[in-house]
Amino acid sequence: PTQTKSQIIMLTLSIKARLLVVLGLCCLSRAFSSSSSKPFTVLPKSSTGQHAAAFSTAQRHPHSLSLRKRVTPLLSLRGGEQEEGASLNEDPTPTTSLTGKMSVLAPVASILQSLGSAYSTQLTNRPILTKSVTATFIFGLSDWTAQKIEGSDEEEAKMNWTRIISASLVGLLYFGPAAHGWYETIFRILPKQSLISTLQKAALGQLLFGPSFTCIFFATSLMQSGEFTLGSWFKKIKSDFLGAWVAGLGFWPLVDLFSYSVLPSRWIPLFVNVCSYVWTIYLSLVANKRASSDAEPSAS
């Protein structure tokens, strides 16, 4: 029953993660593809004076409904005066409330902009250190979340800080520097951003970088539990690697296709780090839940 419960939890988490990534990619692709600007219609010079005269007449007689009906269609043809014509019939109250909301959100936007600027500066001056510290925080948070998911009774609900520290060290000492070197190399080998080049980068990530990271993560989980030997490591890889790799095929190719085709190369490791939050939760469940279930028969 314990193993069945853990399998259900990991399957549910994997499905939710994939749906979250697909939904996010759809929203971002729509945002990038949509155009926010309206084209302006160029009017003949002779008609410009007529429109201006009609608009000034409507302003002098604001209560004349017939003039408003005549002026509004004319102004709707001109992008520059569209808001001016619409203001004849609109109540200024929504604009006031919108301005109030924007004034409340302005400090938050300013703080986020300052943080983004500071992070970008550090990313330029100290790229490896910045990516490693980011991975440290995300990997530690992932394992903390995984332990929250695993905890069902009071004893299991206690945090295993050794696990959290081990996961954080994987991000600091391995994933941050390795991701920096990997993306620098992959863009040097395949600099183009065509569809074929993007698919090649994604395939290389699934064949080289992803499997190596999974094996390192398995070794770290065995080390923090005090069970690491080369034999136990190879046994862990043999029993759990294929399932984790197949599960990753439904997650990482979507991440790679989006990041390689949309994001600048210097921001890809940050995006991958954020996506690793979900994936590392899954790996923590696989690496530690099955290890505990294997230890139960030997203890008995």
DSSP string, 20-80: HHHHHHHHHHHHHHS--PPPPPPPPHHHHHHHHHHHHHHHH-TT-HHHHHHHHHHHHT-ST
pLDDT tens track for 82-111: 444 444 454 545 555 656 656 667 777 788
Give, in order, the Cα–Cα distances in Å from 235 to each of 36, 97, 208, 228, 300.
Answer: 55, 63, 20, 11, 20
Rounded to 5 degrees, what angle do the CA atoms 236, 241, 245 make? Answer: 165
Enumerate residues 6+ apart whose C-beta is below 8 A from 13.
149, 278, 281, 282, 285
The pLDDT score that the predictor gives to residue 235 is 92
For 16-25, 55-64, 263-272, which range has the lowest pLDDT when averaged over its residues? 55-64
Q: What is the pTM of this model?
A: 0.61
CA distance 244 to 221: 15
Task: Quote the pLDDT of residue 113.
Answer: 83
* The residue to which tokens 């992070």 are assigned: 119
Q: Residue 24 pLDDT more than 80? A: no
pLDDT average, residue stretch 73-86: 47
